[in-house]
Structure 1
Amino acid sequence: MEEKKGITLNIGGEGLIEDVLTKEELDRLTPSDVIALLKAGNQRFVQGAITLRNHREQVRKAVKGQYPKAIVLSCIDSRVPVEDVFDRGIGDLFVARIAGNFVNEDILGSMEFACHVTGSKLVLVLGHKHCGAIKSVIDDVKLGNITRMLAKLKPALEASSGYDGEKSSTNEDFVQRVTEQNVLLTINQIRKESPILAEMEQKDQIKIIGGIYDMDTGKVDFLEDVT
C-alpha cells in the first residue's frame, strides 16, 4: 500500500485501485496542494508513466458521492484527454468542455456548483496549442451557430491586435498569442461574472488559474500569476 496526501493506493494484480476522495480528505487539501497534484500528474503523463487504474473498482467506490479536487474548463478537442493529461481517475475532476474553452452562464453555474457546493479547490482554464476554434476566429469563419460561438472568442483576437507579426491562422506564434489571451480573459471573466467564485478566491478557499496544453509534448504550462 502506498500513501500520498489525500489518496490511498492499493496495489493489486489488476492495476492500482485509487480510493475515491472523501469530503474530509478534500477539506484538508489546499488549492496549492491541488495544483501540485496536477503538475505531478502531468509530469507522469509527459514521461509516459501514467497510473494503471482499476476503473471497474473505482466506479463502485464512487457510487455514493463525489468530491473532485478541481474543475477544468477545456476545449472539446479530442486530442486533449483532460483526465489523462493530469493522470487523474474517476471522481478526481469535474470537466467542462466547449470549443475555445470560454465561459457562459451555464459553465459559470457548473463552476459554482463544483467549488461552492461540492468543495473543489481549483478552477483551471485549459487552452491548447493548434486550437481549431482560435484559428477559426482569426480566419473570421462564418457558418451556422459556429458564427455566434466564435464571437465569444473575438475579445482575445482584439486583445492581440498589438502583435508585431503576421496575424494569420498559419502563424503558430500568433495563434499561441491569441490562445493565451483567451485563457487570461476567460479567467478575468470568471472573476467578474461570478461573485461567488471571486469571493472564494479572495478568501483563499480556491484558486482560479490558467494553463496551455502543448500537443507536441503533452506538457501543461500553468499560468498562475494572473491578476
Structure 2
Amino acid sequence: MISKTLDKATQSSLTSDSVLEDLMNGNNRFTASKMETRAYQAQRESTVSGQFPKAVILSCIDSRVPVETVFDQGIGDIFVARVAGNFENTDILGSLEYSCKAAGSKLVLVLGHEACGAVKAACDGVELGNITSMLGNILPAVKLSSEQVDGEANSSNAEFVAKTVENNVKLTVDRIREKSPILKEMEDNGEIKIVGGVYSLSTGAVTLV
C-alpha cells in the first residue's frame, strides 16, 4: 500500500522522460486492472503542508475520463486542468505555467479522448450560448481534418471525428509552445516536455500522438 507522497527532493530528481514513463506504466496498470493500493488518508495528511506534483495534464471535462484513475496516480502526484475539448486559453496557459515554472512539474500532457462530445459539436457547427465561442477553439482541428479525411465532415463520420480529436491535441500542443514563451523555453532547455495523447473509452488505453 502506497502512503508516501512526492516531496521536493524526489520531484527535483525526476526527468520529463521518467515522468512520462511513469504515467504510461500507470495507464498500463489501469487497463490490466492491476492498480496500486493507496493509503489515501495518509497521502491526504502528508500533503496538507505542500505539494510537489510531477506533471500537469490538460484534459477534457468528460466524466468518463477520470484522469488520476486512468494513470493510476495518487494524491499530490499530478495537476489536472480540465475544459471541454482540452484546448488552451489564457487561464489554462497560466495554470500550466504555474504547474511547471512555479511548482516544479516536469511534464505537460494534453489528453484528448475517443468520441469527444465537444469535438463532435465543433464538427457539426453547433451554436448555443457560450458553447459557440468555446467550440471556436476546436475549429482549426476540424478544418485540418476536412483536408485529410474523405467522406462527411461531421460527427456522423467516425473516422473524421477520430482524426479531429487527434488534430485538436496536436494543435493544442503547438499553440501551448507558441503562446507560452515560459513553457517553450523550459522545453528547449530540457526542463520539461510537452506531449499529447488520446484516451480510448473502449479500452482505457492512452496512445501518445
Pairwise TM-score range, normalised by the shorter structure? over 0.9
Query: Which has the bigger relative contact order, CA under 8 A and spacing at least 6?
Result: 2
In the TM superposition, what whole-angstrom CA distance separates every residue of 1:70-124 from its partner, at most 9, and x where no partner exists? 0000000000000000000000000000000000001100101000011100000
Partner of 2:187: 201
Contact between 2:52 and 2:103, CA under 8 Å: does it hold in 1? Answer: yes
Secondary structure at 1:50 match in 2: coil
Q: CA RMSD in A?
A: 0.8
Partner of 2:135: 150
- Residue 51 of structure 1: which of 12, 29, 36 is its match? 36
SS in structure 2 of the partner of residue 108 of structure 1: helix
Identity, % of aligned pairs?
53
Which letter does structure 2 place at the counterpart of 1:58? Q
- Residues 49-81 of structure 1: CA deviation (Å, up to 9, x unaligned): 111212111100111110000000000000000
**Structure 2 partner of 1:108:** 93
Partner of 2:113: 128
The separation in 2 between residues aligned to 1:55 and 1:185, in whole angstroms, is 36
Kindly report which structure 2 residues correspond to 1:1-227, keeping only aligned pairs within 5 A, or say none.
16-162=1-147, 163-223=149-209
TM-score, normalised on structure 1? 0.90
Q: Distance in 2 between matches of 1:72 and 1:17?
A: 22
CA distance in 1, matches of 2:23, 2:174: 22
Distance of 2:136 and 2:114 partners within structure 1: 20
What is the distance in 1 between the residues matched to 2:206 and 2:70?
A: 8
Which residue identity lines up with residue 23 of structure 1 in the other structure? K
Measure how far apart 1:44 and its partner are. Answer: 0.2
What do residues 159-209 of structure 1 show as CA deviations (whole Å, max 9, x unaligned)? 112122222202211101001110010001000000000000000100000
Which of the pair is proportionally richer in strand? 1
Q: Which runs of 5+ in 1 are unaligned?
A: 1-15
List 4+ stretches of structure 1 deviating above 6 A: none
